[in-house]
């Protein structure tokens, strides 16, 4: 089968949906031919070559790249004020619409794909009219759910207004545009429920985790003092809100228990703002380590993972990576969305009002930490497998294309 992939450059660096795309595309390339149309910023497109893809373990017949702009706050506001489309959709349509459509037509004519996967919900309407043959949309999170959640929980009133309006637009737009695809894939059952499609086939393919790369180091030395860990992209409101809560609530509570030198909060990730850096600098027990290549090593150096995430959607890659490393986790219900785990078994799930006491209980019980870590590791090895997720996507591709061939045969017989 010949598969055309359309989406943003998937890394490195890897995070969230980038990991999903990379792991599935890598596996599809083992048995199918692949061609890529990549939207990326300048630094991304430096890597977007068939040579780089081969180094990443991805087989490709070819790749075409197009420079995209980074969406800023003014773009979001402009999309809200001067378009009826969701802001993210309006941004790509305004900045790249004609260029992307032309590139897709050229790629389709050159490669003659059996099926195309569009790897971003914001590209759904931009791409569908330019594609040949069967098309599958990787919708990932339900964008109306994400924006609705941010509108409910975001502290900034202007941002709440923005997300409320965006949620309504995504709800109307996705119902219309997703129906044009031959199959739509979401990342969790909750996201699927927020985007009902009456006739279009819809599937859920959950996140996996590389349980060989992310694995416990059982011979590691115990930290001299407890190390709490959190990571993510810091310009995403859900992560920024969680970090602020860790700095403003959890950290001071632990200071009262252990003193300022009695513990450490380590934060890893990219896109940190100057204001966030300044705030972290005022907490002597908090350390920002930036984006790290050896995330598994950082996780294994921690005592406990803390995830007081209050908003969002989909599944959280960070949680599965920490679980795979056998790290005990204290997290909110939102942090574990999409995962069928029981609190006290594979992790401790609690609201923020009980978070401090739950963290203290885990830190002060080596037996409990070891039990949670073992159970978490076992859960991801048994249930969060990239090979299984790739097989599910491959089945959708084969079934969709086979259905097209069967329909063409019936038409020919008629």
pLDDT-derived band of residue 333, with 50, 70 and 90 as boundaries?
very high
- 2-208+386-413 and 227-383: same fold? yes
Sheet holding 348-349, edge to edge: 286-290, 264-268, 227-231, 304-307, 329-331, 348-349
Options 3.30.360.10, 3.40.50.300, 3.40.50.2000, 3.40.470.10; CATH of 2-208+386-413: 3.40.50.2000
pLDDT-derived band of residue 271, with 50, 70 and 90 as boundaries?
confident
Is pTM, for the whole model, over 0.85? yes
**DSSP H/E element including 222:** none
Sheet holding 62-67, edge to edge: 62-67, 33-40, 2-8, 115-118, 134-140, 183-186, 202-204
The topology under which CATH files domain 227-383 is Rossmann fold (3.40.50)
Q: Is 68 exposed, middle or buried (0-12, 13-18, 19+ CB in 10 A)?
A: buried
Tens digits of residue pLDDT in 127-179? 988 887 899 999 999 999 999 999 998 888 988 999 999 999 999 999 999 99
What pLDDT, on the 0 to 100 scale, is given for residue 344? 84
Q: How many CA atoms lie within 13 A of 316 on its CB side?
A: 29
Tens digits of residue pLDDT in 286-302? 999 998 989 999 999 99
What pLDDT, on the 0 to 100 scale, is given for residue 177? 94
d(CA 324, CA 406): 42
pLDDT-derived band of residue 15, with 50, 70 and 90 as boundaries?
low
**Mean local confidence (pLDDT), 308-314:** 92
**Mean local confidence (pLDDT), 358-368:** 96
How far from each other are the two terminal CA atoms of the chain, in whole angstroms? 26
> Which pair of structure tokens corresponds to residue 351?
């609201």
CB 163 within 8 A of CB 77: no
What pLDDT, on the 0 to 100 scale, is given for residue 411? 29
> What are the residue boundaries of the structural domains of the chain, listed by start?
2-208+386-413, 227-383
**Mean local confidence (pLDDT), 188-197:** 92
Tens digits of residue pLDDT in 96-126? 889 999 999 999 999 999 999 999 999 999 8
Following CA atoms 231, 232, 235, 237 in sequence, which dihedral angle do they give, to the nearest 10 degrees? -90
Tens digits of residue pLDDT in 374-395? 999 999 999 998 999 999 999 9
d(CA 91, CA 167): 16
């Amino acid at each position: 089968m010949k598969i055309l992939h359309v989406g943003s450059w998937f890394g490195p660096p890897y995070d969230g949906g980038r990991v999903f795309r990379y792991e599935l595309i890598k596996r599809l390339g083992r048995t199918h031919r692949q061609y890529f149309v990549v939207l990326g910023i300048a630094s991304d497109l430096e890597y977007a070559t068939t040579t780089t893809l081969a180094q990443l373990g991805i087989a490709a017949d070819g790749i075409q790249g197009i420079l995209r702009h980074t969406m800023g706050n003014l773009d979001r506001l402009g999309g809200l004020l001067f378009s009826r489309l969701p802001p993210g959709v309006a941004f790509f349509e305004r900045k790249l619409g004609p260029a992307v459509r032309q590139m897709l037509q050229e790629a389709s004519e050159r490669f003659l794909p059996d099926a195309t996967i569009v790897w971003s919900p914001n590209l759904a309407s931009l791409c569908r009219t330019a594609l040949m043959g069967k098309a599958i949309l990787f919708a990932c999170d339900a964008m109306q759910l994400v924006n609705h959640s941010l509108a409910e929980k975001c502290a900034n009133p202007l941002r709440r207004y923005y997300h409320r309006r965006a949620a309504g637009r995504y709800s109307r737009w996705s119902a219309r545009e997703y129906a044009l695809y031959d199959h739509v894939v979401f990342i969790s059952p909750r996201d699927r429920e927020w985007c009902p499609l009456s006739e279009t086939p819809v599937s859920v393919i959950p996140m996996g985790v590389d349980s060989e790369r992310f694995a416990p180091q059982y011979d590691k030395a115990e930290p001299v003092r407890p190390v709490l860990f959190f990571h993510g992209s810091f310009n995403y409101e859900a992560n920024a809100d969680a970090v602020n809560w860790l700095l403003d609530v959890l950290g001071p509570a632990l200071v009262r228990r252990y003193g300022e030198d009695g513990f450490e909060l380590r934060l890893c990730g990219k896109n940190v703002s100057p204001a966030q850096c300044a705030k972290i600098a005022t907490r002597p027990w908090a350390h920002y380590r930036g984006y790290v290549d050896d995330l598994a090593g950082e996780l294994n150096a921690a005592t406990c993972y803390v995830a007081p995430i209050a908003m969002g959607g989909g599944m959280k890659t960070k949680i599965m990576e920490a679980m795979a490393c056998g790290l005990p986790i204290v997290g909110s219900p939102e942090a574990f969305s999409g995962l069928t785990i029981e609190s006290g078994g594979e992790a401790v799930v609690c609201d923020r009002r009980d978070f401090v006491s739950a963290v203290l209980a885990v830190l002060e019980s080596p037996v409990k930490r070891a039990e949670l870590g073992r159970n978490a590791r076992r859960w991801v090895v048994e249930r969060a497998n990239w090979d299984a997720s790739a097989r599910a996507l491959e089945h959708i591709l084969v079934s969709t294309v086979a259905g097209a061939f069967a329909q063409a045969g019936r038409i020919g017989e008629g």
